[in-house]
Each structure stands twice: as structure tokens, then as C-alpha cells.
Amino acid sequence: MLSLTPSGIDFAYRQGIFPMFDHILNELYWCRPDPRAIIPLDRFHTSRSLAKTIRRDIFRVTINTAFEEVMLGCADRLEGTWISSEFVQVYMELHHEGRAHSIEVWNGQGGLIGGTYGVTVGGAFMAESMFHRETDASKVALHALVDQLRSSGFVLLDVQYLTPHLASLGAVEIPNRTYLTLLQYAQSISPTPFSNILLSQV
């Protein structure tokens, strides 16, 4: 039976399922969308404006230095969020176990202005959410994540549902049966582990 525990979440992801929380009904539910959205790691789209932002080197990007803060940033939405306090606690446990990771984007004053986080299963990264407080910060985080996944030998970046924002970055929809085939292959991969490293400097 699926449960909101580190082992339950790991089991669910391996079956192509992920948890969500309805903050209005106060209910946990499990999702397996069909079609499923992924970002092919060789097709991430870097727009001219994003490339210009990256070349300006105005942000500092790190890995695994502020996991909880990134989750809380993703949860800070006016329309409400599915990231409950229970989610934060369980994903923090996954993070401490080395199975959940965050990318942080900082401005020149040392403020956290964007980021993304997710869970790894073999050579698959299940991106959960992202946020930004300054223009392009979440895109910079996703760009850094894709670079990290490529260099570490990952083969699948799952983004769950297609949105116009994700589509602009190269996300596509595939049938769930195709996704499950990719997921099964990804679980046979042993990529280089994520490390707490500085990716770039202001």
C-alpha cells in the first residue's frame, strides 16, 4: 500500500506514481498521468534571453545547500499549494538519505531567489516543483539541473505535467506506457551521485 513515507514514495516513483495533496479537501492522493511530461536531456531549450542571463553570471547556483528552503519557496504560492508540512518533513528525510536533491539560485546579496527540487530513482530525476523570486531564476535552476544530470549520467528527467512554461524549455508529452519503459531502463542505470558542490559564482 502506498504511504507518505520515504520508502512509500520511493516505491511509488518506481511504479511511475507520485503523491499530491489537495489543500482544500485536506486529502492525499496519488497520480499517474497519461500522457506524462518529460524534458529530454538533449533537448533542453535555452532561449536567447536565458543564455544572456547565464552569460552575465549574476547569480550563484548551488546544489543541496538549502533543500528545505527550496521546498518552502515552492510552497509559497498565493493560490495555495500541495506541498504540506508533512510533505516537507518526508522529503527532508529523503534528502538526508541522499535520494532527494535541490538546486538553489542566489542573488548577489545572498538571497535565495529561485530553485527546484526532486527525487532520484536510478538514472531518473523526478522534478517536483520550482519557484522564482527574480526573473529567470527558476529557469537558471532548471538549466543547472539539466547540466548536472547530463554530466552525472542520468537518462530521464520527469516533470509530471506539461505547462506552457515547461514546454518553452523543451518539455514534451509521451504516453504513459512509453514513460514506464523509459523509467524501467533508468532504474538499471547507476549515475554519479549528486554532491554538495558549487556550480557557479556570482
**CB distance 134 to 201 below 8 Å:** no
Strand partners, 118: 101, 127
Cα 192 from Cα 190, distance rounded (Å): 7
Cα 50 from Cα 170, distance rounded (Å): 13
Q: Is the pLDDT of residue 11 over 80?
A: yes
Extents of the domains making up the chain:
33-200
- What are the pLDDT digits (tens) for 57-96? 789 999 999 999 999 999 887 555 678 888 999 999 999 9
Question: What's the pLDDT score for residue 80?
Answer: 52
Cα 163 from Cα 169, distance rounded (Å): 10
- What are the pLDDT digits (tens) for 152-179? 999 999 999 999 999 999 999 999 999 9
Residue 198 — pLDDT band, cuts 50, 70, 90?
low
**CB distance 43 to 88 below 8 Å:** no
Cα 55 from Cα 90, distance rounded (Å): 37
List the CATH code of the domain at 33-200: 3.40.630.70
Question: What's the pLDDT score for residue 193?
Answer: 81
**CB distance 12 to 18 below 8 Å:** yes
Residue 138 — pLDDT band, cuts 50, 70, 90?
very high
Query: Which of 6-10, 11-15, 56-60, 117-121 is the least confident region?
Result: 56-60
Instruction: Please report the beta strands in the chain, taking only residues with DSSP state E, as ranges in sequence order.
Output: 18-22, 27-31, 36-38, 60-63, 100-106, 112-121, 124-132, 156-160, 172-174, 198-200
Cα 83 from Cα 138, distance rounded (Å): 18
Per the structure block, which three cell numbers stand in for 149?
544530470
